[in-house]
Amino acid sequence: MKTLLFIVSLLIGQVAYSQTTIYLVRHAEKQAGENPSLTAIGEFRAKNIAKTLAFIGISRIFSTNYKRTQETAAPLAKFLNLPIESYDPHKLEEFASQLKLLEGSILVVGHSNTTPKLTALLSHKEIQAINENEYDNLYQVILDGDKIMLNRMTTIPSYLKLDNKKDTIK
């Protein structure tokens, strides 16, 4: 695990000062129901994402207007004292064009159907679909002039379960 964190730190640190670096994640694990909040493991994942991205210069955070995406973005937004800006998941081409005009490091929180599509629009690469039980992808799209680089990293594994009695990961 330490080796993985070291590699992720190197990848993130290597491009932290690129013209535009966009990090894209699917929302963390959610409860059942209409417009659900995160589960306990989802809250843990959201904090893990915040810790991973806390010191790389994120200057903007975008999320859809759903509880699960807002709650995934919230720990990093709170730590960096940044607002969470909303985007319309039904207008991804327009949003991708807007993102390409921005500079700095940006986090975008989306859904299993929108995150791969937006990543593909930004990177001009084919991105595999995200399964319903898959929450650990962290895409990094680096836009540097005419150069576009894509990295796919992972956060904590999706198969982890929270032991509610001990409030620990098992």
Q: Are 23 and 8 in contact (CB under 8 A)?
A: no
Q: Please tell me the predicted confidence (pLDDT) of residue 9.
A: 53
Please return the burial class of 66, using the count of CB atoms within 10 Å of its CB with bins 0-12, 13-18 and 19+. buried
Of 103, 155, 146, 153, which Cα lies nearest the Cα of 124?
146
pLDDT tens, position by position, 58-67: 999 999 999 9
Show the tokens assigned to 103.
Answer: 């500079």
pTM, rounded to two decimals: 0.84
Q: Please tell me the predicted confidence (pLDDT) of residue 155.
A: 86
Residue scoring higher pLDDT (145 or 164): 145
pLDDT tens, position by position, 75-121: 999 999 999 999 999 999 999 999 999 999 999 999 999 999 999 99
Q: How many CB atoms lie within 10 A of CB 37?
A: 14
Q: Which domains, from first to last, does the chain contain?
A: 2-169 (3.40.50.1240)
